Amino acid sequence: MTATTVDLSGNRLGWAVADAVTVTWRNLLTLLRTPQLLVFATIQPILFVLMFRYVFGGAIQVPGVDYVNFLMPGIFVQTVAFGATSTGVGLAEDLGKGLIERFRSLPMARSAVLAGRTVADLVRNVFVVALMCAVGFLVGFRPSTGVLAFLGGVVLLLLLGFALSWLFAIVGLGVRNAESAQAATFPLTVPLVFASSAFVPLESMPGWLQAWAERQPVTITVNAVRALMIGGPTSTYVLQSLAWSIGMVAVFAPLAVRRYRRAA
């Protein structure tokens, strides 16, 4: 009866990758079939650009930099961080609908549902970041470094988004529907995104908040991306950001897979 099932033994990694690719395909297909989700996902960062560029921007003084150039790297990082919450939302939805249960009853790799979700959300973030670049140029964003440095910055912020996806995966597996996932990820994203250097210089914050803000991964990545896009000392922030992102994946991915095994 099982003669048609390909033998797993000896090639677990190969199957883990194949399964993750299959699940990624499924998630991207879902994304294409519900374009309204993508539209909403892009409207929010566009509104943030317009708000900070034209409403708050005039009141925010950043010495030596045009505010729009200061803002856009922050917007990019904010975009991927908010985009990463969709990992939690998607998993919570799959869990509530019983799909996770089905996947867990199949002889597929235990990591595939999560890897397929985080990778699909990474692809989604690539798309949204590309769009935000275009929006940035429209409102006057002018990077002053080279193309390679700019792309390096994009890679760095996508990596942060991927790492945060694994954090939100843990959150999403603990709730049952999209609304709860949204509500549960919000208190995590706000201190990361807003108590950071994304929109304002840290010096404008009270000391106790600076103490948090200057050490957390969003600030570090924003500083790294900013340096790569509009100039400034790069190496320390870039290395710290890489360390944060890789470290978060290393810690959160096994925890998320552990939670997946016991989910539902």
Partner 1 sequence: MAEAIEVAGLRKRFGDVVALDGIDLSVPAGTVFGLLGPNGAGKTTAVRVLTTLLVPDAGSAAVLGIDVVRGAEEVRRRIGLAGQYAAVDENLTGRENLRLVGRLSHLPGEHVRRRADELLGRFDLLDAADRVVRTYSGGMRRRLDLAAALVHRPPVLFLDEPTSGLDPRSRADLWQVIEDLVAEGTTLLLTTQYLEEADRLADRIAVVDGGRIIAAGTSSELKDQLGSTLVEVTVADGETAERAAAALGRLGPVEVADGKVVSLKVDDGARSLPGIVRLLDAEGIDLAELAVREPTLDDVFLTLTGHRTEEEAA
Q: Which of 112, 115, 158, 192 binds partner 1 (CB under 8 A)?
A: 112
Part in contact with partner 1 (CB under 8 A); list of ranges 100-108, 119-127, 140-148, 239-247: 100-108
Question: Residue 121, interface with partner 1 (CB under 8 A)?
Answer: no
Regarding 258 and contact with partner 1 (CB under 8 A), the answer is: no
Q: Is 19 near partner 1 (CB under 8 A)?
A: yes
Residues 177-196 that bind partner 1 (CB under 8 A): none
98 binds partner 1 (CB under 8 A): yes
| Residue 255 sits in the site that holds partner 1 (CB under 8 A) | no
Contact with partner 1 (CB under 8 A) among 10, 105, 207, 235:
105
User: Stretches 22-30, 39-47, 178-186, 193-201: which one binds partner 1 (CB under 8 A)?
Assistant: 22-30
Q: Which residues contact 232 (CB under 8 A, 6 or more apart)?
A: 226
Q: How far apart are CA 176 and CA 158, in angstroms?
A: 27
Place of tokens 């879902």: 30
**Residues of this chain that bind partner 1 (CB under 8 A):** 1-2, 4-6, 8, 15, 18-19, 22-23, 26, 29-30, 33-34, 97-99, 101-108, 112, 264
